[in-house]
Chain A
């Protein structure tokens, strides 16, 4: 062993034991250092994380703690609430704290997995945090991003059910809800008939019963697969979509599982009751998790860009969720700009409209972000079946053709995704067979596709963040008017595609206008010019030292002027709720 190798070993050992008893996820003394950086991921990062597997809430908690401990100048961790079962809800604030306060920069908000079974959303959010932190100072693009904007990352919205998904028996679709108890069938009992893991393998798969009158049969091409008997032939089996029995003796199977509500129908925008919007729950923000997350967003009004990760189907969704809602025309151009860009960098993903291409959603999170908070949000439905054989399916086929799922499993996963049919004694049906796809299949990428999914989706949000306003205060001119009076003119220039306020915001007064302040000398008059070329301005009636500017358009500029008296230093401040805060000092002489 030469000295160089020994040195690396020491580094690896140090990195591997960050102390404080945090649960190690990936470390081992044998971690061999990288000799040649593969393009993309940070090389020999301070925090080694394996992005080809999934983390439970203890794992997520260990990782976000490590992010904040390792990069204190770039990352802060705060607990924004507590889940129903008492797990901490986390938010990461990521920006260069040495260059301006986080709340004084335009912000990109990212969250994940409001539907708990949509597992990999959390890994995408974590990867984004990790990549930003590890790349600051190494990659000029990331460095500029963290110098000029803030990322707020809520790495998971439903920790109780995430742990439930991982540590108890489930199928790919359960649990979508959180764990707040709700009596679905109104008999006064809570969750008294959930699915049951009859063979005790940790998966809720399917159940088939060979009995007279069954209309299903075994697929001759793949004996693992069940297909419907043709209309002109007799079937062999009954097929039940979930494994289980009648726990409560009411004659129904699995009719009251985890209290059903949909946390993504529980937000305070076009909320509708349960008989209009299934799963709406009691009233907007009646759940501890949606309340905590919405309070976090409300208390960070500098958020202008938004991203919420779900699965599945490979979609880049924009609102509105309901056809009676609307997106303002100028904002639509921004959605289109980013959505079409997303289609290029996310192969197999389609840029779609929720209510038109998916289904109607009332009380959805991102519709609330847009309508109530003036944020431009996307929902990405992760994992596209396109990734199986690089083949596109119709847009409403979110999981790919059944045949291809079996093929992909057989050839690329070597059969690992399937639990083979096995006989089990059923308390009500006698002998049945249990088998089918594991919960980790059809909605989540396998290991070798997860890192790609993380990276490509993160890139989408980085460019979203890139296009948030970047303001410079240009061309300050001081023109003497005689008798100690001066005219100070300034151009406020936005170098990016997003305006400082969306049209929905300006139209409805969600936030206040941007404010340009001149301090240091008495201001006699002031106002905003109609264009950057117009020599005259409309004088503001009161408080000319504090000019209200409706907004700075994307790639646009606004010219303002003041008439001041006297000489000396002055300070000009541009203060936009969502566009950031910028200052300039000038000496009038």
Chain B
């Protein structure tokens, strides 16, 4: 706790003295103070940083997108990083801000990289649930603050959670000897719980619920808490209707719409990295359409590009997430329905313990977190179970304790400042890999006054110039060739502008012959938002 106070004091001093903000310490911030900080940075670095509000949540929190580039006014090939997707991830917004600060602090060393490229950050796509971290009592939200009648009783958000034992944190509750009990002690550690299989005649010891009481007298506890839609279930790909917290339909929420419009209005973004609980870097996906494996895969080339990417990132990405991707997820939408190379991994995860000893019933992450808490003797992270008198169950044994709401997914505060430097190599590597064009032209005079220009368009980057899926959803644009003829020149074998529908893969080149009549200087421009633009001039004489 002393450490925490020290950091806050340091922050205040830095602000007061007007020190360069990039040196500011890392901490978890509520949306408003993060927004203020970002705007302050944008004002200080107008030549390289831009900030845009891409949407506003139900409760009025702006969703911000930051762009860094040596030429922020231009449309340049770009990578986008998105944080604050899962309702429990308060870490990735802080990592975003930390990365931004590192870029600004070391501008001299990254400037060249951002000369013809850009990096975007959306630090928190779904800000509302993260505010629970800063509320007193601290509490988790299942999603944003869209009112939802979870128990379909015609009343909305009428049975929220409570901090019954007054420790300032809404944790968990064990209610013993109730008929609906379907949980028991975990065999490895009685501090954890596991579900019994009632269909096999097993009997539960207690009911396991978030801390709280039956506010609406319907004999159910916390069945209709405040909120909301989990944004990471509200996207179109494999969307599942009728589930709590998935939304009334896909893209029902301002957060989903904000990122939807943003991506389709930014065809220069080729790669999207989302910090999510699931991980497609250490557990690569099979990208294909149609799904039927006997049919040829339309997205085979995208799949190869993605495979090459994750091979490189496997060792660079510092933390391992889950293999299973939920329905309606952000990550799958980015590839299949928004057409970009999609990368997903958690911003942070507990170090692994020996997973061989774990039975399958419990999420390994809970064991990891518990071991960590025990090692550090951290009773805020995990509070040992203690009996309380529950107003709705005066005659029952009821215990309160367990993990704090954000404990499973976020590091202790003193670990946080170390994270941006661990992510920086990933950002730099992705930027370096973006496609780049190289043009060369050879002129041959075929007949008097008739020239053949052999143009070679080559991708000297390490990613394709666009994705096949990106064209299929009409989000990305193909390479576009425009021939600027001098007065009196005529182009014989092509229109003066046309597209090259297929993406150029890394190292791949395409040769085009242009037959031109007439002398003069011909300029040929080739490019697209995601590949950049190059021009070559040839003198026909």
Contacts and interface: CB of A to CB of B under 8 A. Distances in A.
A286 interface: yes
B472 A548 contact: no
B152 interface: yes
Interface stretch (B43-51, B161-169, B241-249): B241-249
Contacts of A368: 249
A185 B250 CA distance: 27
A250 interface: yes
Contacts of B478: 186-187
Contacts of B252: 268
Interface-centre pick from A268, A543, A548 (highest chain B CB count, 10 A): A268
Given A282-B260, A542-B217, A187 B248 contact: no
B10 interface: no
Interface string A177-201: 0000011111110000000000000
Contacts of A513: 152
Contacts of A274: 472-474
Contacts of B239: 271
B contact residues, range: 35 or more
B337 interface: yes
Contact of B337 (A248, A283, A509): A283
A430 interface: no
Interface in A228-283: 248-251, 268-269, 271-276, 282-283
A510 to B, nearest CB: 7
A508 interface: yes
B260 A286 contact: yes
B149 interface: yes
B296 interface: no
B249 A183 contact: no
B477 A183 contact: yes
Contact of A515 (B149, B154, B236, B469): B154
B393 interface: no
A204 to B, nearest CB: 23
Contacts of B498: 187, 250-251
Interface in B461-498: 469, 471-478, 480, 494-498
Interface string B222-256: 00000000000000100101100000111110001
Does more than half of chain A's interface fall in helix, strand or loop, or is it mixed?
A: loop
B499 A298 contact: no
A574 to B, nearest CB: 13
A510 B152 CA distance: 8
B289 interface: yes
Contacts of B242: 508-510
A372 interface: yes
Contacts of A298: 248
B472 A273 contact: yes
Contact of A372 (B249, B261, B473): B249
Contacts of B336: 273
A371 interface: yes
Nearest to B220: A542
A376 B289 CA distance: 33
Contact of B250 (A188, A283, A542, A543): A283
B328 to A, nearest CB: 11
B519 interface: no
Given A268-B250, A372-B248, A251 B495 contact: yes
A275 B472 contact: yes
Contact of A186 (B154, B217, B471): B471
B218 interface: yes
Interface residues of A, number: 40
Given A186-B499, A188-B480, A283 B251 contact: yes
Contact of B249 (A188, A268, A272, A286): A268
Interface string A346-380: 00000000000000000000001001100000000
Interface in A490-524: 508-513, 515
B474 A512 contact: no
B153 interface: yes
A238 to B, nearest CB: 21
Interface in B46-103: none
Nearest to A260: B474
A114 B242 CA distance: 27
Contact of B251 (A251, A268, A276): A268
Contacts of A541: 218-219
A284 B250 contact: yes
Interface string A562-589: 0000000000000100000000000000
B241 A371 contact: yes
Nearest to A267: B249
Interface in B424-475: 469, 471-475
B152 A512 contact: yes
A283 B236 contact: yes
Nearest to B218: A542
Contacts of B371: none
B283 interface: no
Interface in A31-53: none
B260 A548 contact: no
A275 B250 contact: no
Nearest to A276: B289
A552 B499 CA distance: 61
A248 B497 CA distance: 9
A152 interface: no
Contacts of B496: 249
A548 B154 CA distance: 10
Contacts of B476: 186
Interface string A140-180: 00000000000000000000000000000000000000000
B149 A250 contact: no
B241 A372 contact: yes
A285 interface: yes
6 contacts: A187-B477, A188-B529, A275-B289, A282-B475, A283-B264, A513-B152
The 6 closest A-B pairs by CB, nearest first: A268-B249, A275-B472, A512-B152, A508-B242, A283-B260, A250-B495
Interface of A: 182-188, 248-251, 268-269, 271-276, 282-286, 298, 368, 371-372, 508-513, 515, 541-543, 548, 575
Interface of B: 149, 152-154, 217-219, 236, 239, 241-242, 248-252, 256-257, 260-261, 264, 289, 298, 336-337, 469, 471-478, 480, 494-499, 501, 529
Given A271-B239, A286-B257, 11 more contacts: A183-B477, A186-B474, A186-B501, A187-B477, A187-B480, A250-B495, A268-B248, A273-B236, A273-B337, A275-B289, A372-B249
